Structure formats: C-alpha cells, structure tokens
Amino acid sequence: LSDRDGKIWMDGQMVDWRDAKIHVLTHTLHYGCGVFEGVRAYNTAKGTAIFRLEEHTQRLLNSAKILRMTIPFTKEQIMQAQVDVVRENKLESCYLRPLSWIGSRKLGISPKGNHIHLMVAAWAWGAYLGDEGMTRGIRVKISSYTRHHVNITMTQAKAVSNYTNSILANMEALDDGYDEAMLLDANGFVSEGSGENLFVVKDGVVYTPDLSAGALNGITRNTVLHICKDLGLEVVQKRITRDEVYIADEAFFSGTAAEITPIRELDRIELGQAGYVGSRGPITEKIQSAFFDIVNGRNPRYAHWLTQV
Ligand code: PMP
C-alpha cells in the first residue's frame, strides 16, 4: 500500500504517497491513542460524491474529544481536505481514511507536550467482505473475545486501540474458516462485528443492539434507520441474545466499508425462513438496494448526504 503514485494530505499539505511517513517513535504507534474514520465516495450520475462527509468528520472530532486530543484543524478544513484528496487522486469511487495521531516529540504514557497530527488518504476499495458476500451473504462466528466494556475503553470513539479487539476477533473467525466475527458484550448480549453494526429481522420487524452493548454509533447504522422508516419497517433497538440471531428470519451487517452485507450463517447454523435459508433475505435485499440508491445519488431525498467532489 505504501509504494504507489498519488497524494496523501498530511498536516495541511499534499504529500507524495511514498513520502507520507512518520517516525518510529510516534506516540500513537507505541500506546495506541489515535482516532480515525472510514468514509466512502461514490461515482454518482452528477460525478464523484462523498457520503455523509459532515457526519464522519463530526465523529472524528468527537472521537478526538473523547480521547482528549485537540486536532489543530477546523471541521471545515478537515472536510475540505477529504474533498481535495479524492480530487487530487482522480478517484471516481473510493474509501477515505482520515487519521489523527500523537507525534514523536516525547514518549511515556502522558501524551502532553506532543503535537497532534492529521492525515487523509484515499484509495479504490471494492466490496469489503467480497462481491459474493453482498448477494449470497457471509458466514459468521460468535467470537471467543468479548467486545469492549463501555468503561474499559471508550466505545463511542473510533479509536485506533479499540481495533486490537476487532483484529483478534476477525483473525479467529478467518482462521476458523468464517468470513467475519460477531462479538458479544461483557454481559453476553450481541454487540457488533469487528467493523460493522448488526441488524436482525424477525416477523417483519428490524432489530439492532442498542449502543449500551458497546457498539459504535455507525453512520451506516443510522442510514439504515432512515431507510427502514422510509420503507415503513418498525425498528427496535434493544438487547439481543445470540440465540435470537440463530432463529432470526434475516441478519445483516452495516458499515462504511462493509456497506450492507447479508449474513447467511452464524456458528454453522443457517439463518432464515423457507425459500431464503442460508441466503440473503428479502427485507435485507430491499434495505441493501435502498442503501445503494442513496449512496449512488439515485434518491433525491438524500441528496444533502452527498458532497460533490
Ligand atoms: N462498528 C465498528 C467497530 C466499526 O469499525 C465500524 C466501521 N466504522 C462500524 C461499526 C460501522 O460504522 P459506520 O457505519 O459509521 O462505518
């Protein structure tokens, strides 16, 4: 990934991709205190547009606030940086990665006295869990790793260090022959995937874990809530047990990278009802299709969620 043409925005400047480097004594590299975002831009009929740029940028600033990091750029500057990176790299559709980290002036747990840095990179990135997963659904395993308790790390911050837990869960799932992990909270209730929020459908009602289960307040999750309202689907945010997912009619993950990815199997139990067992469910398909209409600019009602590049 590091050896290619293009530009990365670093601390206010466009830097050649290959030169966008940091020192090995960077505080964040040692102690994991950093915050980031995952954003997507889509190739709409009106040209490339970034989806929910303002919400992603606000979440980055919120994550930084939670970790007591003061990013030395305004929200407007950070939004502009993202637009500029997509334009500069001539990307039609892409994934964007803004990341803020603590510098290398000094080490020791206390980050005081260090500079806070910010970068934005962007590159083309297709279906995160595979093209087949989008239509057929993926196979998921309940992780042996517990999701963060809400007072061990800060679960509403998209913090770099939170992802060690995600990596452990994801590696375990992949090593065991699954596509992705589903993590339970410290009380044993379903929380989220390693990088996705979870939804289940039962008897026409859509359920998603409430955020006290330690799941990130996903922007795609929020988009799904809007879509369900538009489709006249009732949504209930509540505690969900592992066996409720086993007997759900449908289940899917939501996330910027994963978009809307159906889940066809959990712990080798095929999900779903007659006609749809072990495949994408009909309500999931409707939500997925509405999602792609919105992000690709085909639903004028949500034009305000698209920032033209
Ligand atoms: N949970 C976790 C742990 C994530 O990393 C992500 C991806 N940012 C999500 C949920 C989904 O959030 P969003 O829809 O905002 O991408």
Told to judge if 238 belongs to the known catalytic residues of this protein, a careful annotator would answer no
Q: Does the Cβ of 122 fall within 6 Å of ligand 1?
A: no
- The pLDDT score that the predictor gives to residue 48 is 98
Class of domain 7-123 (CATH, top level): alpha beta
- The pLDDT score that the predictor gives to residue 275 is 87
Which residues does the chain have with pLDDT short of 70?
Answer: none
- The pLDDT score that the predictor gives to residue 278 is 84
Quick one: which H or E segment has residue 192? strand 190-193
| DSSP character string of 92-138 | SSEEEEEEEEE-SS--SS--TTPPEEEEEEEE----TT-HHHHHH-E
- The pLDDT score that the predictor gives to residue 154 is 96
User: Measured from the CA of 38, which atom of ligand 1 is nearest?
Assistant: 8
Ligand 1 geometric centre to CA of 40 (Å): 12
Superfamily of domain 131-295: D-amino Acid Aminotransferase, subunit A, domain 2 (3.20.10.10)
User: Measured from the CA of 192, which atom of ligand 1 is nearest?
Assistant: 1
- The pLDDT score that the predictor gives to residue 273 is 86
| Residue ID of nearest Cα to ligand 1 atom 2 | 195
Q: Does the Cβ of 38 fall within 6 Å of ligand 1?
A: yes
Domain ranges for the chain, please list them. 7-123, 131-295
- The pLDDT score that the predictor gives to residue 71 is 98
Equal fold, 7-123 vs 131-295 = no
User: Measured from the CA of 222, which atom of ligand 1 is nearest?
Assistant: 14
pLDDT per position as a tens digit, 267-308: 999 999 888 888 899 999 999 999 999 999 999 999 999 999
| Residue ID of nearest Cα to ligand 1 atom 5 | 195
E-only strand ranges, 239-305:
250-255, 259-266, 269-270
| Residue from 120, 100, 116 nearest 13 by CA | 120
Q: What is the ipTM of this complex?
A: 0.99
pTM (2 d.p.): 0.97
- The pLDDT score that the predictor gives to residue 42 is 98
- The pLDDT score that the predictor gives to residue 292 is 98
| DSSP character string of 145-184 | EEPPPTTTS-TTS-BGGGHHHHHHHHHHHHHTT-SEEEEE
Report the distance separating Cα 294 and Cα 119, nearest Å.
Answer: 28
Q: Does the Cβ of 221 fall within 6 Å of ligand 1?
A: yes
Q: Does the Cβ of 214 fall within 6 Å of ligand 1?
A: no
pLDDT per position as a tens digit, 36-67: 999 999 999 999 999 999 999 999 999 999 99
Report the distance separating Cα 294 and Cα 44, nearest Å.
Answer: 10
